[in-house]
């Protein structure tokens, strides 16, 4: 069982889209609704791909200084460079981790893809060690797939 139930999140996003919500509004809603799932979700960041950089377009939770991350750098940039989602159970074990604060212990990055194109990613931080089960990853992926259609 996942903590996140993605279906109501997707319903809310589709409804906002049908009421002419723009891209920023959809991304901000997605960040807030994902974070509302509660523990282990601490902060949620929507980084979108602009050329060879990820740009922070919306977030919910702790502020970050990392508004731009080059492809290939950190956990976020690695997801884009490899085309693979990243489930990092313990960020202290990752050499290329870019720390935003001292409390985050784990990070999940799920790519937002439209066909073969990577549009961006959902980046979830948690203060818990290794909290993201395969069910949890699948739940976040449902939201990423919905966003890929709506953006």
Point out which residues bind ligand SME (CB under 6 A).
45, 64, 66, 69, 74-76, 97-98, 100, 107, 123, 125
DSSP 48: E
Other residues' Cβ atoms within 10 Å of the Cβ of residue 127: 16
Element (H, E) at 58: strand 53-60
CB of 40 to ligand SME, least distance (A): 14
Of residues 107 and 136, the one with the C-beta less far from ligand SME: 107
Nearest-5° angle of CA 121, CA 127, CA 129? 90
- What is the distance between the alpha carbons of residues 81 and 96, in angstroms, rounded to a whole number? 13
Q: What are phi and psi of 150, to 5 degrees?
A: -85, -25
CB of 20 to ligand SME, least distance (A): 29
Of residues 24 and 68, the one with the C-beta less far from ligand SME: 68
Of residues 25 and 94, the one with the C-beta less far from ligand SME: 94
CB of 29 to ligand SME, least distance (A): 18
CB of 131 to ligand SME, least distance (A): 15
């Amino acid at each position: 069982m996942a903590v996140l139930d993605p279906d109501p999140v997707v319903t809310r996003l589709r409804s906002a889209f049908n009421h002419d919500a723009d891209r920023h509004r959809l991304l901000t809603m997605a960040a807030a609704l994902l974070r509302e799932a509660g523990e282990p979700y601490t902060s949620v960041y929507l980084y979108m791909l602009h050329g060879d950089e990820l740009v922070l377009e919306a977030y919910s939770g702790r502020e970050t200084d990392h508004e731009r991350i080059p492809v290939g750098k950190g956990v976020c940039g690695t997801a884009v460079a490899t085309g693979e989602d990243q489930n990092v159970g313990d960020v202290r074990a990752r050499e290329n981790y870019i720390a935003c604060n001292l409390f985050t212990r784990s990070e999940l990055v799920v790519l937002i893809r439209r066909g073969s194109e990577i549009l961006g990613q959902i980046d979830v931080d948690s203060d818990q060690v290794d909290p993201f089960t395969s069910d949890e990853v699948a739940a976040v992926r449902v939201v990423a797939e919905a966003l890929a259609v709506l953006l």
